[in-house]
């Protein structure tokens, strides 16, 4: 199981923030600068920019990831753990407390992380060298395979509920009591300041505090009370990762997923089709017919090789009151009276749980098609087969579906189904206060992390029906004697035409099903078109749209609007076999295509390690929460290092040493996509296999410096291979330049640079001194129509090719209609990376045609294929 593109973007954002921490040595400063560079500084007057870092839990880095319901929060967190621990010193104990708000979610999480067949556990094993242990509270209290030695060697995940740490009852207080099973941890306490006063040293809470754990807080919006905050503080965390669809105002968001990304990846059933019926009888009748229609479509799809789906209706009954006729018990009786099998109907309320005995609702052996609930499914329950939410509230009430709407949004098997009806979800109501009901649906979507606009409406209740049902509450209070007694709405069985044994033709010809098909087809097509438009935009732009007015945008100047509409920037496309990509014979070129046959494990391992300096350790994340922290960048000699882990590794046989050191190096190397981790692992193993005992000891002492050398060599090898492949494909005419990118009407530069005349937009991005000088001397020349500071990080134009996407610094347009890209380089930057970019840029110019030029510009230094500033100025002035 691999990350979806938006999930990878989340991990990239987290790692980007952690790099800012390394640069700024402070989690708060890093957070503020991270967002300032993305969307500009925070301005409290117009509330643009991201609010400054909130120090919610002192002495802990605390960040939040916003992911809508069904967005795969758990899998994101699994991958995030690797990113977080890669930012620590490798010798740190890898202890994680995974906090969940509800007991059913606790068991789901434990099962997923423990089961060796589950994709989450498989990913953990791959990321942490198969050294992973999952603990529940009972395991920890009993010291079950839980001691200082095993904890030091592996990733330790303690899955706990919020309640189990709040010490409200006798069972929960055991966490704070003396525990002889944990006595072995006491001699390991490096700092007694971590221990809680008036709590025994052997108490589990003190053991946890001594490990300075990373916290993963699932559904973190449930952990905002004072009691919950105190609970988090008590754990003495070094890092807190919040996961939620609805962050609170005090959250430090480092990444947020736009809802449209989930629909693109077929994670959710959108749009939600909302149909307001005349009365409860119609709701039940139409829900039953629609379920049969969807099941017929699902069976046809399965017969054609698709996967098994059994669409389920969630009937939201009224709470049980004296006057109500549609309680969960009554409804079950009515469904049974229609000839529906009892095995197909289950009740799930606060007091009755008929789902408990069903191990898997998605099993072919399961018959359940109708689940009757009130709000018992509002949290921690997920079944992708739930398609229809049928609410049976009184007609005079606004239908409150906010709490359980998210239960019907998850898409079965995370894939697009052939029948478009199986890619949508449905809400059936009968509400005279339909506008209030729609607001509840909007709030339900927002509670699931969506914008609230992902629904489509069909209201069949007439104005007369609404007027007769709605009682004015003021008049009712002031003049009760004038009010007519509201007649209790009953279910008219004679009007329910549903027959469980009806033929497929009868179901197809049902008037409601025909109408619903027409409505849903139109709305589905509209959303599909919207997705096509969205796919043209980078993910960052979708994120900025999600953030709305917080993002400071700058418009193109009026005089330039018509000019930019006429400029189409070429990018490289690769000719492919048509059937590979469903009918088109070209796809945008990327490094993955160029490196698909690259076999790193077979490449040379000749790396000069003789010139390695003493290692410079990473900033300790546990220290970066201190306001006045200055890292101690000490050059360490071998004799000064007393790392018990290093001594433990060196005592092993050579093969085991290679395995352990390879894992440590892989942790530091991180993601080098598209080179597979396994290829890198084999390559590193070959390097280590040639080392003698002295070198093996040295690499453990200076692992960051050695890893930097290895990583640089891998880049050099992969760049050379990619460039050779690229030039071969150019020569054979399989790579061509094709118009594919246009300048936007608005930009989000983040930090803005100096105001220099002739710019394309109202404000341009920040520049260094040499860049400002270049644009002052070239961009303001009389033959230049405009200049633009090209944006990076997915915002601007890039040349795709054998180098990772190359974003030139400037885009200029001459009055004669020539488009010029300029990449500036200080004279100290003339290494192989600059040379490669220069060759790529010059090849782009050759392929792009007569109207496009590329210049790499140095100040005075003369570099093959590049230009000095004076020479570039002379050439461009004549264009």
CA distance 813 to 785: 5
Instruction: Give the residue-averaged pLDDT of 404-422.
Output: 89
Element (H, E) at 469: helix 463-469
Instruction: Give the residue-averaged pLDDT of 819-836.
Output: 83
Measured CA to CA in angstroms, residue 389 lies from 318, 403, 428, 519, 572 at distances of 14, 12, 6, 17, 47
pLDDT band (50, 70, 90) for residue 813: very high
Lowest mean pLDDT among 215-219, 454-458, 862-866: 454-458
865: its two tokens: 């294929």
* Residue 155: pLDDT over 90: yes
Instruction: Give the residue-averaged pLDDT of 443-451.
Output: 74
197/267 same-domain check: no
pLDDT band (50, 70, 90) for residue 458: confident
Residue 184 within a domain: yes
Classify each residue of 586-612 as buried b or exposed e, where b means 16 or more C-beta atoms within 10 Å of its C-beta.
beebebebbbeebebbebebeeeeeee
Q: What is the pLDDT of residue 682?
A: 94
Structurally, the chain folds into a number of domains equal to 4
233/292 same-domain check: no
Residue 52 within a domain: no
826: its two tokens: 């200080």
Eight-state DSSP code of residue 625? T
Q: What is the pLDDT of residue 581?
A: 43
Lowest mean pLDDT among 563-572, 609-618, 734-743: 609-618
End position of a domain, from candidates 257, 276, 310:
257
Question: What secondary structure, in 3-state letters, does 295-341 show?
Answer: HHHHHHHHHCCCCCCCCEEEEECCCCCCCCCCCHHHHHHHHHHCCCC
581: its two tokens: 């990509």
Strand partners, 297: none
Which residue's structure tokens are 């149909």? 275
CA distance 85 to 67: 22
Eight-state DSSP code of residue 752? B
* Residue 325: pLDDT over 50: no
Pairing state of beta strands 155-161 and 132-135?
parallel
Highest mean pLDDT: which range of 256-260, 430-434, 516-520: 516-520
Lowest mean pLDDT among 33-47, 717-731, 834-848: 33-47
Residue 139 within a domain: yes
Q: What is the pLDDT of residue 171?
A: 65
Strand partners, 406: none
Which residue's structure tokens are 């008590």? 234
* Residue 222: pLDDT over 80: no
pLDDT band (50, 70, 90) for residue 217: very high
End position of a domain, from candidates 209, 237, 257:
257
End position of a domain, from candidates 257, 279, 310:
257
Q: What is the pTM of this model?
A: 0.81
Strand segments, DSSP code E, in 598-683 are none
* Residue 394: pLDDT over 80: no
Instruction: Give the residue-averaged pLDDT of 236-251.
Output: 89
* Residue 399: pLDDT over 80: no
CATH number, domain at 306? 3.40.50.300
Element (H, E) at 506: helix 504-508
Tens-place pLDDT, residues 532-561: 776 666 667 777 777 878 888 899 999 898
CA distance 447 to 401: 11
Tens-place pLDDT, residues 350-372: 788 888 888 889 999 999 999 99
Element (H, E) at 857: strand 852-858
250/273 same-domain check: no
Eight-state DSSP code of residue 252? -
Of 842, 588, 587, 603, the residue nearest 718 (C-alpha): 603
The SS3 assignment for 778 reads: helix
347: its two tokens: 């009740």
Q: Which domain holds residue 72?
A: 59-257
128/229 same-domain check: yes
Residue 572 within a domain: no
Torsion angle (degrees, nearest 10) of CA 397, 398, 399, 404? -130
266/226 same-domain check: no
Strand partners, 527: none
Tens-place pLDDT, residues 95-133: 999 998 887 788 889 999 999 999 999 999 988 888 999
713/755 same-domain check: no
Residue 758 within a domain: yes
Number of CB atoms found within 10 A of residue 62's CB: 26
458/375 same-domain check: yes
417/354 same-domain check: yes
- Give the helix ranges, DSSP H, for 485-566: 504-508, 511-535, 539-547, 561-565
CATH number, domain at 178? 3.40.50
Q: What is the pLDDT of residue 109?
A: 92
Tens-place pLDDT, residues 592-647: 899 999 999 899 998 888 777 655 556 666 666 665 444 333 333 333 344 566 77
Q: What is the pLDDT of residue 324?
A: 46
270/284 same-domain check: yes
CA distance 599 to 756: 48
Query: Cα angle vertex 810, ends 804, 812, to 5°?
Result: 130
Lowest mean pLDDT among 146-155, 228-237, 413-422: 228-237
356: its two tokens: 């408990």
- 529 against 680, higher pLDDT: 680
Residue 489 within a domain: yes
Q: What is the pLDDT of residue 426?
A: 93
* Residue 468: pLDDT over 80: no
305/423 same-domain check: yes
- Contact in structure between 337 and 499 (CB atoms under 8 Å): no
845/864 same-domain check: yes
CA distance 288 to 277: 14
Question: What secondary structure, in 3-state letters, does 338-360 show?
Answer: CCCCHHHEEEECCCCECCCCCCC
The SS3 assignment for 391 reads: strand
* Residue 172: pLDDT over 80: no
Edge-to-edge order in the sheet of strand 455-459: 345-348, 370-373, 312-316, 386-391, 425-429, 272-276, 455-459
Q: What is the pLDDT of residue 197?
A: 84
Eight-state DSSP code of residue 428? E
* Residue 787: pLDDT over 90: yes
244/276 same-domain check: no
Instruction: Give the residue-averaged pLDDT of 786-815.
Output: 92
CATH number, domain at 822? 3.40.1350
Residue 253 within a domain: yes
- Give the helix ranges, DSSP H, for 115-185: 119-127, 137-142, 148-153, 170-173
Residue 550 within a domain: no
CA distance 249 to 42: 15
Mean pLDDT of the chain: 84
Cβ burial of 322 (10 Å; 0-12, 13-18, 19+) is: exposed
């Amino acid at each position: 199981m691999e990350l979806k593109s938006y999930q990878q973007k989340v991990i990239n954002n987290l790692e980007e923030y952690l790099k800012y921490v390394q640069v700024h040595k402070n989690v708060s400063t890093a957070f503020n600068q991270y967002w300032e560079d993305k969307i500009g500084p925070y301005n409290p007057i117009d509330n643009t920019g991201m609010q400054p870092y909130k120090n919610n839990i002192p002495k802990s880095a605390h960040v939040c990831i916003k992911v809508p319901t069904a967005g795969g929060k758990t899998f994101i967190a699994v991958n995030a753990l690797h990113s977080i621990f890669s930012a620590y010193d490798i010798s740190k104990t890898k202890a994680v407390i995974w906090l969940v708000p509800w007991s059913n979610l606790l068991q789901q999480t434990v099962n997923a992380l423990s089961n060796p067949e589950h994709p989450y556990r498989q990913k953990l094993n791959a990321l942490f060298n198969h050294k992973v242990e999952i603990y529940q509270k009972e395991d920890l209290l009993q010291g079950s395979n839980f001691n200082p030695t095993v904890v030091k060697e592996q990733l330790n995940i303690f899955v706990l509920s919020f309640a189990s740490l709040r010490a409200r009852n006798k069972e929960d207080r055991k966490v704070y009591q003396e525990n002889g099973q944990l006595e072995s941890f006491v001699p390991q306490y490096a700092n007694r300041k971590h221990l809680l006063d008036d709590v025994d040293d052997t108490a589990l809470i003190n053991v946890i505090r001594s490990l300075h754990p990373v916290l993963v807080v699932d559904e973190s919006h449930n952990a905002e009370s004072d009691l919950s905050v105190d609970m988090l503080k008590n754990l003495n965390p070094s890092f807190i990762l919040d996961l939620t669809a609805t962050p609170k105002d005090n959250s430090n968001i480092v990444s947020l997923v736009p809802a449209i990304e989930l629909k693109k990846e077929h994670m959710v059933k959108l749009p939600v089709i909302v149909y307001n019926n005349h009365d409860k009888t119609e709701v039940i009748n139409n829900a039953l017919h629609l379920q049969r229609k969807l099941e017929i479509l699902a069976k046809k799809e399965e017969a054609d090789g698709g996967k098994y789906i059994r669409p389920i209706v969630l009937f939201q009954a009224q709470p049980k009151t004296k006057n109500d006729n549609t309680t969960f018990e009554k409804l079950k009786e009515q469904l049974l009276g229609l000839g529906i099998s009892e095995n197909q109907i289950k009740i799930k309320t606060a007091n009755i749980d008929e789902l408990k005995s069903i191990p898997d609702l998605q099993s072919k052996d399961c018959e359940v098609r109708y689940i009757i609930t009130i709000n018992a499914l509002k949290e921690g329950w997920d079944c992708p087969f739930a398609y229809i939410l049928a609410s049976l509230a009184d007609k005079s009430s606004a239908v409150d579906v906010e709490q359980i709407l998210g239960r019907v949004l998850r898409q079965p098997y995370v894939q697009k189904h052939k029948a478009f009806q199986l890619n949508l979800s449905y809400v059936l109501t009968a509400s005279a206060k339909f506008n209030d009901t729609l607001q509840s649906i909007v709030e339900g979507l927002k509670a699931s992390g969506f914008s609230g606009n992902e629904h489509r409406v069909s209201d069949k209740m007439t104005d007369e029906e609404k007027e007769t049902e709605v009682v004015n509450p003021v008049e009712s209070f002031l003049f009760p004697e004038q009010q007519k007694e509201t007649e209790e709405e009953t279910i008219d069985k004679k009007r329910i035409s549903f027959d469980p044994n009806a033929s497929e033709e009868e179901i197809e010809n049902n008037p409601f099903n025909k109408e619903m098909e027409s409505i849903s087809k139109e709305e589905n097509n509209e959303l599909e078109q919207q997705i096509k438009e969205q796919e043209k935009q980078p993910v960052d732009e979708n994120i900025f749209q999600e953030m709305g007015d917080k993002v400071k945008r700058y418009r193109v100047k009026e005089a330039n609007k018509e000019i930019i509409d006429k400029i189409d920037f070429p990018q490289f496309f690769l000719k492919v076999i048509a059937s590979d990509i469903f009918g088109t014979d070209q796809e945008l070129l990327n490094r993955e295509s160029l490196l698909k046959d690259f076999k790193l494990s077979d490449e040379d391992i000749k790396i000069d390690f003789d010139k390695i300096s003493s290692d410079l350790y990473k900033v300790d994340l546990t220290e970066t929460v201190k306001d006045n922290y200055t890292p101690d960048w000490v050059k360490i000699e071998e004799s000064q290092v007393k790392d018990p882990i290093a001594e433990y590794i060196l005592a092993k046989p050579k093969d085991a040493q290679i395995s352990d050191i390879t894992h440590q190096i892989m942790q530091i190397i991180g993601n080098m996509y598209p080179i597979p981790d396994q290829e890198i692992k084999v390559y590193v193993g070959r390097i280590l296999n040639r080392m003698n005992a002295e070198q093996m000891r040295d690499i453990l002492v200076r692992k960051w410096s050695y890893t930097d050398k290895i990583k640089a060599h891998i880049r050099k090898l992969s760049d050379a291979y990619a460039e050779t492949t690229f030039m071969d494909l150019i020569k054979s005419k399989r790579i061509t330049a094709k118009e594919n990118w246009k300048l936007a009407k608005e930009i989000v530069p983040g930090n803005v640079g100096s105001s220099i005349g002739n710019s394309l937009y109202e404000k341009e991005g920040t520049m260094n001194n040499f860049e400002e000088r270049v644009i002052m001397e070239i961009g303001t020349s009389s033959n230049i129509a405009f200049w633009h500071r090209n944006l990076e990080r997915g915002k601007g134009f890039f040349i795709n090719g054998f180098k990772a996407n190359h974003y030139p610094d400037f885009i200029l347009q001459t009055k004669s209609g020539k488009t010029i890209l300029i990449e500036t380089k200080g004279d100290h930057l003339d290494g192989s990376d600059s040379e490669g970019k220069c060759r790529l840029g010059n090849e782009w110019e050759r392929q792009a045609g007569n109207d496009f030029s590329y210049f790499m510009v140095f100040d005075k230094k003369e570099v093959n294929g590049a230009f000095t500033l004076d020479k570039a100025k002379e050439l461009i002035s004549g264009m």
